[in-house]
Amino acid sequence: MRSRLLFLIAVALLVLAPIASADSSDDQVAASPPPLVRSIVCPVLYAHEVVSQAVLRRFLTGLLLAGFQPTSLATVDAAMSGAMDPPRNCVVLTFDDGLLSQYLNGLPVLGDMGVPAVFFVLPGFADGVHRYMGPSELQALADAGFEVELHTCNHPNLPLLARRNLNAFYAELVDCRRILESIIGQSVNYIAYPSGAYDATVLDAVTRFGFRGGFTTRPAAVLNYRTPYVLPRIRYDPSEAVATVIGRLRAAGG
């Protein structure tokens, strides 16, 4: 019953979207985000657990000393929209899964060092193994100026879920996105696919549901405006030697 309800919500959104667009005022149309028109070199890193504040601080210090400039996803979007040039040696730091260690050990260091970061989170997720952020922590991230984006609610393999249960697949995108937006009080425009898994059905859905872009786990440094729903990311662990991660960035073209 719940899956059927979520499916109906998803369908309603798709049906009503054109109607709402047709009834929009000129101001509303003007407020639509500009199209992406330019590819840029700006590697996106992703990590999971942050084992300690000292470890993350050491990693970020090394990254900064090497000349890299951590950049927000909003800045990347503006650069790809042609509104500005990307910062020289830019890099985007992202964290997956909404793990509590990211909040306890990451947030204080990122805030103290003035380093922007993106958190792809799982609102309401619990697996009995790891500790995850709850609504209060997610809201605190957003209030602190960090970007909070979607990683679904249950971390499914999206292509497999779409084949097995299309209703549940839609719920992971539409309903989960709405839940996260209600928590943080901000729009959610990007998604990181769990385990980087996607296929044509996934790409079609995130496009129709109005996401701005989607991130994979394919390592590369170029963000191609022609393929905004398969943007690459490079994995790292803050506990690694920063020289190892920089080598990985260089090998990917960054």
pTM, two decimals, is 0.88
Check if the beta carbon of residue 84 is closer than 8 Å to that of residue 78: yes
Label the pairing between strands 222-223 and 40-41: antiparallel
Please tell me the distance from the alpha carbon of residue 55 to that of residue 7, in angstroms, as a whole number: 43
**Contact (Cβ atoms closer than 8 angstroms) between residue 133 and residue 99:** yes
Neighbours of 188 (CB within 10 A): 21
- For the chain, give every domain's residue range: 2-251
pLDDT digits 0-9 by tens, 2-23: 443 443 344 344 333 433 333 4
- DSSP class of residue 145? T
Class of 2-251 in CATH = alpha beta
Quote the CA–CA distance of 8 and 130 in Å, as a whole number.
32
In the chain, which stretches have pLDDT less than 70? 1-31
